[in-house]
Amino acid sequence: MPFIIFAPKFGDFVSETRVRFAPSPTGYLHVGGLRTALYNFLFARKNNGKFILRIEDTDRNRYVEGAVENLIESLKWCGLDYDEGPDKAGEFGPYMQSQRLDIYKKYADDLIAKEHAYFCFCTPERLQTLKEEQAAQKLPQAKYDKHCLSLSKNEIEDKLANGIPHVVRLNVILNQKIIFDDIIRKRVEFESNNVDDQVLIKSDGYPTYHMANVVDDHMMQISHVIRGEEWLSSTPKHVLLYDFFGWEKPIFAHLPLLLNPDRSKLSKRQGDVAVEDYRAKGFLKEALVNFVALLGWNAGNDKEFYYMNELIESFSLERVNNSGAVFDFEKLNWINAEHLRKKSNEELLTLLKFEIENSELRIENYSDSYLLQIIDAMKERVNFVKEYLTKSPYFFEAPTEYEEASRLKNWKPETPEQLVVLKNKFTQLNNPSKEDYETVLKQAASELNISAGKLIHPLRLALSGISTGPGMYDLLFILGKGEVINRINTALNTLR
């Protein structure tokens, strides 16, 4: 009598929302991982639940020094604070799987006792041969042949006693349907005949993901498993495990993948994938979070600009899409610029000072009030904080060379004498305001019988060395009379 294995439905009562982000520490936080972590975080916060960080470090071959610290650093930078984790004790720790080996061992023994799992002593060579044979026979699918399931108790004890390397395998029962409901995929159905006798405990004594994940999610009382779509295919193994243990299953939600422009799974080959890369490039955490949140989710309206608290407010798993999303850098740039423009000048000041400290400039050369003026003047013109330095370097250092195109276009033979007229007028000003500069410049233009533009363009070139920037009177005022006159003189000497 085949039994049908069922995961709980969406509406089933769950006492407390507890979700986890469970990355393996491979070196850095991938933006796909960020999205998974974010959705978990948003879901937890929205439902007044707990967000847990668990490190899945059960593959000793993949251990990377400092990876966990790096992961945590990135997570925290993004504002994803977890309630329990490796460095934040909770009542369900430890939160590093490598520190829970005895637990997995105990539950594996449990399963073996109930004959839902068994020792397997097959060598890698036999497994390899088996696979090749099955391929040669054109079997629809390669699976372990349950060879070691038929070992007698004595044989097993004998091999164990002799220290023969072994693993523990899941004993999948044939001819059953494994059905579960996924919030995003709806009902998903598998045949148990297509499920392999997965290794649960490796020969080095470490559990595989499948084993550790189920045991931990149960012990940590995880209510919802929100993870990437790449796990959907192995979910039947997990469902089987919950059932064999007699445990209540969590509610599953498998997230669509993040893709490269060519629609393959987002990878390092085609650009930056690590959160730290984006951070280094100068993206605001608010922008990265906002952008990534929208990759696969929307509230059902046209809103695209979100702060974290707004995301928490409107997030729901039901509104997560089911198809992969291409990571579009152009749109990330745009959302970054949006967030930057919405920041107060004071916030930008902090960011800009940080940027200056990390540049070759000396922070003590610039007062807060001076920087604030630059921020105000350039705010609409920068997409990154560092662009205050790269797009308007002339606020920090006088130009030493002049843009050729602008020189050809705006620096005419008559320009020098006209600028001298203007300069003389500037010289006579006493503590000039923006309006004073404007009045005087227009006066000069009028006296010279030329348009203001004829003065403005070469003046801009003289003051900034380039042809783009804030309004001329802002530029004059920020630089100040003395600097303005110096720069005009320098230009007059350089560009004849």
Q: Which residues 88-117 are close enough to bind RNA by CB under 7 A?
A: none
In angstroms, rounded to a whole number, what is the distance separating the alpha carbons of residues 33 and 259? Answer: 13
> What part of residues 12-41 is at the interface with RNA (CB under 7 A)?
22-24
What phi-psi label fits residue 27: left (phi over 0), alpha (psi between -120 and 50 degrees) or beta?
Answer: left
Alpha helices in 323-381 (DSSP H): 329-342, 345-357, 368-378
In angstroms, rounded to a whole number, what is the distance separating the alpha carbons of residues 353 and 385? Answer: 10
In angstroms, rounded to a whole number, what is the distance separating the alpha carbons of residues 3 and 281? Answer: 54
> What part of residues 330-369 is at the interface with RNA (CB under 7 A)?
330-331, 333-334, 337, 341
In angstroms, rounded to a whole number, what is the distance separating the alpha carbons of residues 443 and 449? Answer: 10
Nearer to RNA, 277 or 338 (CB): 338
412 binds RNA (CB under 7 A): no
Cβ at position 84, least distance to RNA in Å:
18
> Side-chain half-sphere of 385: how many Cα atoms within 13 Å?
29
Candidates 99, 123, 270, 359; binder of RNA (CB under 7 A) is 123
What phi-psi label fits residue 68: left (phi over 0), alpha (psi between -120 and 50 degrees) or beta?
Answer: alpha
Residue 117's DSSP bridge partners are 170
202 binds RNA (CB under 7 A): yes
> What part of residues 422-481 is at the interface with RNA (CB under 7 A)?
452-453, 456-457, 460, 467-473
Does residue 76 carry a catalytic annotation? no
> What part of residues 218-247 is at the interface with RNA (CB under 7 A)?
229-234
Candidates 48, 136, 140, 154; binder of RNA (CB under 7 A) is 140
323 binds RNA (CB under 7 A): yes
185 binds RNA (CB under 7 A): yes
373 binds RNA (CB under 7 A): no
Spell out the residues 6+ positions from residue 183 whose beta carbon is closer than 8 angstroms to its own. Answer: 10, 224, 251, 252, 253, 317, 318, 320
Which element (helix H / strand E) includes 423? helix 415-428
Collapsing DSSP to helix, strand or coil, 250 comes out as coil
Catalytic residue among 106, 114, 268, 342: 268
- Least Cα distance to 82 among 48, 46, 50, 56 occurs for 50
Nearer to RNA, 260 or 490 (CB): 260
Nearer to RNA, 308 or 332 (CB): 332
> What part of residues 240-279 is at the interface with RNA (CB under 7 A)?
256-257, 259, 261, 263-265
Cβ at position 260, least distance to RNA in Å:
9
**Bridge pairing between strands 199-201 and 186-191:** unpaired
> What part of residues 379-398 is at the interface with RNA (CB under 7 A)?
380-381
Nearer to RNA, 130 or 363 (CB): 130
**3-class DSSP string for 115-148:** CCEEEECCCHHHHHHHHHHHHHCCCCCCCCCCHH
Binding region for RNA (CB under 7 A) out of 276-284, 315-323, 344-352, 412-420: 315-323
163 binds RNA (CB under 7 A): no
Nearer to RNA, 24 or 176 (CB): 24
Nearer to RNA, 80 or 258 (CB): 258
Give the catalytic positions in this structure.
268
